Amino acid sequence: MALTIKPAARAVLREQLLTELSGIGDIYLAVGEAQWGAALSLRRRYEGCMRLLDDLGWREDDPAEEFAITMEPAPLMRVLARLHERAGEEIEGQLDTAAEERQALWEAMLTVAVCGDVLVELVGTDVEEAMLRYRRERAEAASCEPEDERP
């Protein structure tokens, strides 16, 4: 009995398989550097991806309602485990990036708050009025600069 998947699952797997196959040129590089073991390992890796694509269909717009996976379990498990691992690494990377972006946002918000507080004390008015005054002064200063010295 063959394992079957629906079009939505097929679309996800197909996209990831094509992404994985984007590195197939690494076989050529490994052979060129006489790294025979690496070349063979890569060939097996990409062979599994291509074999699964044979089952899922290479065409993006395949109208089938189900897709039978006829690969042997061991190579299928290797392909799926590799895709699973790579997707997990991508999630971790995105979470790290999101954390860095949140940290940068938090630092910017703190800067706005601290500068606003100091401006209020310095100018004796609210932040918006202080910023308007700053922008006017900056515009006046810029209009006095010779044109060749303006940024």
In a domain, 118, yes or no: no
On whether the CB atoms of residues 53 and 14 are closer than 8 A, the answer is yes
pLDDT score recorded for residue 51: 95
The label of the residue with tokens 């938090």 reads 106
On whether the CB atoms of residues 131 and 125 are closer than 8 A, the answer is no
Q: Give the residue numbers spanning the domain of 58.
A: 1-71
Q: Rounded to whole angstroms, how far apart are CA atoms 23 and 112?
A: 45
Domain count, the chain: 1
In a domain, 40, yes or no: yes
Q: Rounded to whole angstroms, how far apart are CA atoms 29 and 24?
A: 10
> Distance of CA 55 to CAs 11, 78, 107, 113, 150, Å?
13, 16, 50, 58, 63
In a domain, 60, yes or no: yes
Between helix 7-21 and helix 73-123 the angle, nearest 10°, is: 80
In a domain, 31, yes or no: yes
SS3 59: coil
In a domain, 110, yes or no: no
The pTM is what?
0.64
SS3 134: helix
pLDDT by residue (tens digit) across 38-92? Answer: 999 999 989 999 999 999 999 999 888 999 999 999 999 999 998 999 898 988 8
In a domain, 4, yes or no: yes
In a domain, 94, yes or no: no
The confidence band for 1, taking pLDDT boundaries of 50, 70 and 90, is low
In a domain, 103, yes or no: no
